[in-house]
Every structure is written in C-alpha cells, then in structure tokens.
A and B are shown apart, each in its own frame.
Chain A
Amino acid sequence: MNEEITAELFAHLVELAALELQESEAAYLRGQLNKQLEIIHELEAIDLPEDTPITSHGVPYSPAISPPPREDAARPYPGPERILAQAPQSEDGYYRVPDIPHTDLA
C-alpha cells in the first residue's frame, strides 16, 4: 500500500481538522485515505492543457440567469431565545465556551 499519508502527515491533518480519534479509527481512516489517493492519481493520466479553465460549478451563471444581488435588509428572527436554546451552554444571552487559548507575542 502506498503510504502517501504517513503517520506524521496524518497526525498533522487530524490536528488541522480539529478531530480527536480512537486508535482503531485512526488506522482505518489513514488506510482509506491512501486507498482513495490511488484512485485520485488516475487524474494524472489526463493530458490536461495548461490553459484548461476550472469549473467551479457545472452550469455557467450568465447574467441572464443570475439573480441580481438583493438589498441588504435586517429581518430580526422572531424567536432568538429558540436559537440560543440550541446552544450546549449559554448564559444571559451569551454562548459559553471554555477558555480561549492565548499565544503571547514575543
């Protein structure tokens, strides 16, 4: 198995992704990433001219079919307390979170 995603690189991705993994889960996920990359490498077989444009969505959004930008308008939500009630922890109308880590600039 090609080890493009090494254990070190995998640990870095897990950190970037803000995930905490069980050991068995990590082994499975790293194996699957490497398997998927073998398929992704099929894309390298394509003779792709440098000037090929990118497609960010299939349908071209011409001005004729694009809705005009709408006015910015404030529309208060009728029950903000219902939204706040979804928070795992809130207090006096604020969201509560654990301490935010600080890095002192030298």
Chain B
Amino acid sequence: MQLCDLTAHEIVERLRRGETSAEAVLDSVLARIAQVEGRAPRTAPYPPSAEEQAEDRRHVHAYISLQAERARERARSIDQARARDEALGPLAGVPLAVKDIFCVEGTPSTAASRMLEHFVAPYSATSVTRLEAAGAVVLGKVNLDEFTYGSSNESSAFQPPVGNPWDPSRVPGGSSGGSAAAVAAGEAVLSIGTDTAGSIRQPAAFCGVVGLKPTYGRVSRYGLIAFASSIDCVGPLTRDVTDSALMLGAMAGADPQDGTAASVPVPDYQAELEAGVRGMRIGLSPDYFRIQYPDAKTGELREQEIDPQVKAAVLDAAQRLAGAGAEIVENVPMPNTRYGIPAYFVVARVEAASNLHRYDGVKYGHRTARPMADLRAMYRASRGEAFGVQPKLRILMGMYVSAAQYEKHYYQRALRVRTLIRGDFEAAFDPAGLHRLDALLAATTPTTAFELGALYGDSVLMQYADLLTVPADHAGVPALSIPAGLDRGGMPIGIQFMARDFDEARLFRLGRAYEMSTAAEAWRSARPKVLGGG
C-alpha cells in the first residue's frame, strides 16, 4: 500500500500526526500516474495503428492535462503551514483530479471537445475553489465524454479513450470516466464529477469507487460548463463513504454566484456517519430489477432482468442492512422508472442544444481557419469542425423536439412525465404513505463495465446504460453508489441508495454501514488489473 492508495481521511490523519507530507503524497500520486497512465490523450485522429491501440488498452489515460507544478506549489504551502503549526483544512494535502468540465483559473478547460481545446478558464468553479480552500491539491483535469455526452468516455475528442483500471479493454463508464478511473487506479485520491443521467454513479460502479449525486441544488454549478441546467449535479468520486462525506461537506451550500444553489444548511456529515441504520426503512422495487430496455442484439425494447450477479449484490446488501437493524420493504412500486430514458432523450437534448448555442467561434473556442464570406457561414463551419458527433446529435434532437410545432407533443409531455417520475419517489418516501421509506436500494447499473467499442455508435443502447440512474436525476433526489463486490469476470459491481431531498447524511450512514458489514470480504482487498490484480 502506497500513499496514493490511502483514503483522504487517512492522508489528513497522517499529515496531522506529522507522519508524512503533502509533497510526499503528491510524489506518490505522480509516480503512480507515470506507472499506469500511458500516453497522453490528444485530439489527433485515432487509432494511429492496431499495435498502438493494443498497447493503449493496457493503460488508463485518465488525464487530459496535468498541472504538476501548480500542485507542487500548493503541496509545499500546505507543508509550510503545518510546519508553522497552522490548522490544516479537512482535505489538506489530498490530491484531487478535476473532471475537465469545470473551470479552474489559468488551466486548460476543454470539456473534452475540440471546441474548447485551447480555452484557458478565466475563473474557477465555486466547488473547486471550496475544495482548494479545504486543502485539496488539484493535480489536473481528467477525461470525460465530449461535453459529458455519453456513458463510456469514448466520445471524448481526446484519445486514446480512458481504460477501466480493472480491465483497460473495458470502458470506465461515463461521463465522469476519467474521474472514476483515476481514483480507482491511485492516480488521484479524490475526484470531482458531474451527474446528469448517472455520470458520477455509473462510472463509480464500473470502476469500483464511491460516487455521490447530491440533491439538485446542494452544490453550486458556478464554473461548470453546462449540459442540462435543470438536471446537472456536482458531486464527489472517492475511495470510501467517509471521503465522500468529507468532500460534500467541503463543497456544499449556497453560493451568491448560483441562484439554484439552495440555501439549506449543510450538516456535519461526519458526525452521524457511523450512527447505524437501526429502524431505517429501506425499499426494494421490482421496477429496478426487471425493466424495459433494448435487446443488445436486435435493439427491440423488451422486459429484461438486470444481470443476476448485480441483482444478487443488491439482495445481499439488503440482507446485511436487515442484519444491522434496518427494515426491508419489498415490492415498492416505481412504475415510471421505465420512462426515465425516453423523457431524458427529450429534456436533456433541449437543454443541451440551448447551452451549446454559445459556442460560436467569436468570443472564445474554435473558429474555422477557412476564410468565410459572412458571420453565419463562419458559425456553421466552426461548429461543424469542432463539435464531435455526440454534441451534434444532441443539438439536432433538441432543435426538433422544442420546435414550436412539435414542442407540445414532445417537450411538454416529457416535462409532465418527469412529474410522474418525481411522484414515484414522493410516494415511496411519504412519511404518511404506504411505504414510508427512508431510502430506496437498487443496482446502479444493469450490467458491469462493457468492452470498449461494444456500444459506441449506437446512441440508444449507450443512453440505456443510464436507465437505473436517470430517475434520481429527473427527480432531483440524492443518490449514492458504492462498490458491492466483483462479478465472475473480476469487474466491480455497484449498488445505489436514493433518499429524500437534501438527505445525503442518511445515504452516508447507509453506505458506511454496508462498508462495515463487508469489511472482511475478500473482494475488499482485490486490486485493479493495472495495479497487478485480477
């Protein structure tokens, strides 16, 4: 076990006791990056050759850009503060990878798109500023699907694609795939990501790390390059639940720069982390086990069971929590779960199209080098050259379903279906209702990580990778994905808890209780393949 494999709370403890330094921790992470990262992703055509691609599929390729010198200055200043006996922040000296969808002042902030390949952010996102104020050391920016549009990281303009540390020929998930992979491989201790349909939880599940989608409005979105503004949530990817709680505590809360950052007090998430689950009512829903999604071969929608190994992990977790004193409530109806993806196809596209109109080649971002007769031709050429196919697909669908003559049929209907999805959660959590749940327990993903190239290109199958995560995004409720074992192929399985608005503290208690009940399991000590495991 090296310093880079420790959790944030262990690192801070050692730092406080004077057993290590922030610079030693940084050196350990940089050495790990040199060991597993492989060549740096670029926007050049990919793959260069079959041999190089085969070589790439043994590495992680999590980072788009590293800011090692900036990180070293920060680490040194933390060590100097400690030498002067100054109080250390809750994340002092902890290396942090930032999904390259956040602005960090003075660093390239690309959104994994050619459109912003040379953009240098003039200010920092509130969430990143707060993590730095808590002592976190920003290492660099990690890869993602272009503008977050995908569930596998393969749509990034920066290739080679991120490989899953547990098997680099498989996807890390997406869109926060670089974040999840970096944390899983010890290339960072913490990462900050975003979740719009499952973009924190799905990669967390695929890479065997903890991912939290907080309540919509819990964390400021200021400085986040926008996708779907009514759904985007900023949250942590970490090695354990304690770190997730630490990181949310450092980021959450109102922000004068974001009118949707709710003015709800931020509790001390650490205080009740190990308060247990006795008396909690935890629901299981058949609508998260058996669900309508496209057949992998024919593409036809049909009722299918999720992967039995993933289902078994959910049921095992329920048993363990029951053993710890929770009450398991079965057969909770969540009948609108199946409409999550169809509604998302409409709502998210309309918002994406709207948010992408700002990229016009005038104020920043890519402009065509070809001479253009007029402004409109320049817009078309610049956007055509710099957007990949996934942004283009979202813009076009967004234009269609929000057009005046179709809007009532598509967009208005999808927003009403969103009300029904929210209604499922309100009924399940209603303290005076039939089920009176404190949390809902489900699989995070219907399968474990799939192979690179298996789904990419089929935008429908790719979107359905999010079918179990997207309902919480529509509803705005918080959801925590935690590792729950490995499948027969040695790939991580993720399970998730969903709770009432702003009840993240309960999610952490549940996650921590599950961690304690599985501490002795063999899979807890398994290592990703890139670190010699598997």
Contact = CB atoms under 8 A, between A and B. Distances in A.
Interface of A: 5, 9-10, 13-14, 16-21, 25, 28-29, 32-33, 35-36, 39-44, 46, 48, 52-59, 61, 65-67, 69-70, 77, 79, 82-83, 86-89, 95, 97-101
Contacts of A44: 413
Nearest to A80: B122
A58 B376 contact: no
Judged by DSSP, the binding face of A is loop
Interface in B393-409: 393, 395-397, 399-401, 403
Contacts of B338: 42
Q: How large is the interface on B (under 10, 10 to 19, 20 to 34, 35 or more residues)?
A: 35 or more
B263 A65 contact: yes
Closest 5 CB pairs of A and B: A58-B476, A20-B384, A88-B367, A54-B415, A59-B476
Given A18-B383, A58-B475, A43 B122 contact: no
A54 B399 contact: no
B280 to A, nearest CB: 22
A98 B363 contact: no
A66 B263 contact: yes
B24 interface: no
Nearest to B461: A35
Residue among A41, A57, A79 with most chain B CB within 10 A: A57
B362 A54 contact: no
Given A40-B345, A40-B410, A57-B231, A87 B400 contact: no
B364 A86 contact: yes
Given A19-B383, A67-B261, A43 B397 contact: no
B339 A67 contact: no
Contacts, number: 190
A25 B389 contact: yes
Contacts of A48: 413, 416-417, 420
B362 A43 contact: no
Given A58-B476, A98-B375, A36 B119 contact: no
Contacts of A67: 254, 256, 259, 261-263
A101 B375 contact: yes
Interface in B367-392: 367, 372-381, 383-385, 387, 389, 392
8 contacts: A19-B395, A21-B384, A28-B389, A54-B418, A57-B231, A58-B422, A86-B119, A89-B367
Contacts of A16: 399, 403
Contacts of B420: 46, 48, 52
A27 to B, nearest CB: 11
B506 to A, nearest CB: 16
A31 B26 CA distance: 48
Contact of A56 (B230, B357, B367, B410): B230
Contacts of A57: 216, 230-231, 260, 476
Given A43-B417, A67-B261, A33 B393 contact: yes
B217 interface: yes
Nearest to A18: B379
A38 to B, nearest CB: 8
A98 B374 contact: yes
Contacts of B6: none
A46 B339 contact: yes
Given A42-B301, A89-B367, A82 B400 contact: no
B234 interface: no
B362 A66 contact: no
Given A13-B400, A19-B384, A20-B384, A59 B342 contact: no
B459 A59 contact: no
A29 B389 contact: yes
A14 B380 CA distance: 9
Given A19-B384, A98-B378, A79 B122 contact: yes
Given A20-B381, A28-B389, A86-B120, A39 B341 contact: yes
B493 to A, nearest CB: 26
A28 to B, nearest CB: 7
A61 B258 CA distance: 14
B241 interface: no
A58 B460 contact: no
Nearest to A68: B263
A32 B400 contact: no
B374 A55 contact: no
Contacts of B217: 59, 61, 65
